[in-house]
Amino acid sequence: MNETCIIPTSAVLRNLSHVLVCLTAPVYVITCYILVFKCPQFFNRCIFMEYFMDVIWQLTVVVPYSSLCSTGVGHQYPVLMFSVVAAGLCATGISIMHMFEYRMNAVTDDSIKLLKNLITGVKYYHYFMMTSCMCLLVASYGHLSDQKSFKASVERKFGHPLPSYIWCDNCMFINTDSVTVLIFVGLAASSQPFAAVYFALSVYASKRGLQKLKNSLSQRTIAIQKNFLNSLYLQTAVHVIFISVPLGIFFVSFVIQIPNSAMYMSYILVAMCTQHGSLSTLALLMSNKPLYSVFTKTFLRMKINIRGGDRVSGVGVGMDASSWYRSAIPPNAMK
């Protein structure tokens, strides 16, 4: 990268995200080891979107201009990096919805069929909105790539020349002069209330399901299901806080000018957004009792031999394989 395109900042802030990635790497290694080798196969999923954001994109938000500058490996393709992360955030939201649906189906039956149909309708409408967002994102690519004219308009808006590094190709703006981009941003923002409605209805349905199952399931199984739900709530809260807060402040900066002296806050907010996955993973590991039990047994007691039958269900968490699968798998999947 040309030296004139490097954003002037302190070495501490510039390397903050790298330090956090190094610190959180063990969390991923441990959790993914447990999920891949110690859990039933339907838990074998690990997502590392923050590594893309930190290494490939390496985003810096320059205030007060709200410019998105890429200094990572893919700095020559900032619009592509932005598009990939936007698609990743959509996928994250859909993944969380699937987790709520999975837990809801595990504890509910057809006695609340109307409510479940309503939840399914909200889910598919949200899918439609996400699909529309992706189509608009593709349609907006050309508008987002055409930055020179918009940068000139931003310069006129502030009444003084922009810093030289913002004119480099690795810095981009959300081109609000484009109707297509505005529709994309508006649709993406409006999809969040529908996601919140889906989560609220799923939580309500899950709680109703657990209430009805109290007489047919043991107290231990009920406790396990409640722990799964509480763990999921905590994970979702981490995602919402560490993604929504930075994005919210970023969009507010379009209306309220954030002073240049608050540039340090930009690095902190980007670090929050970048590390949301690792913090969510840590929340999963600490709040999910079966996984935490596997963690303590496997790593703290140094029992690292992996055997075919040595899964979460049988590593000292107080339940056998059949009880684990009965509590974790939706009833319909066992038929």
pLDDT the model gives residue 303: 46
Count CB-CB contacts under 10 A for residue 240.
Answer: 16
Domain annotation covers residue 303: yes
CA–CA separation, 6 and 259 (whole Å): 20
**Are the CB atoms for 287 and 234 separated by under 8 Å?**
yes
Task: Please check whether residue 179 lies inside any domain of the structure.
Answer: yes
- Beta carbons within 8 Å of 214's beta carbon, 6+ residues apart: 222
Give the pLDDT of residue 47. 52
The span from the CA of 266 to the CA of 258, in Å, is: 10
- C-beta separation of 27 from 276 below 8 A: no
Position of tokens 């808006």? 157
Is 114 within the bounds of a domain?
A: yes
Q: Is the peptide bond before 64 cis (omega within 30 degrees of 0)?
A: yes
Give helix 263-274 / helix 245-252 axis angle, nearest 10°: 140
312, 290 contact by CB (below 8 A)? yes
User: pTM of the prediction?
Assistant: 0.73
pLDDT tens readout for residues 273-323: 877 777 777 888 788 887 777 777 766 654 444 444 444 444 333 443 334
Range of the domain at 224: 3-330
Q: What is the pLDDT of residues 81-128, one digit of tens each?
A: 899 888 888 887 888 888 888 888 888 888 888 988 999 998 898 889
- Enclosing H/E stretch for 22: helix 16-33
Contact (CB, 8 A) for 61 and 85: no
Is 335 a member of any domain? no
Q: How many structural domains does the chain have?
A: 1
Burial class from Cβ neighbours inside 10 Å (0-12, 13-18, 19+) for residue 264 reads middle
DSSP code at position 214: T
The verdict on residue 175 lying in a domain is: yes
Q: Does residue 238 lie within any of the structural domains? A: yes
Low-confidence ranges of the chain (pLDDT < 70): 1-6, 8-15, 17-18, 21, 24, 28, 31-50, 298-335
- CA dist., res. 133 & res. 131, Å (int): 5
Helix (H) or strand (E) holding 90: helix 78-107
- At 180, the amino acid letter reads T
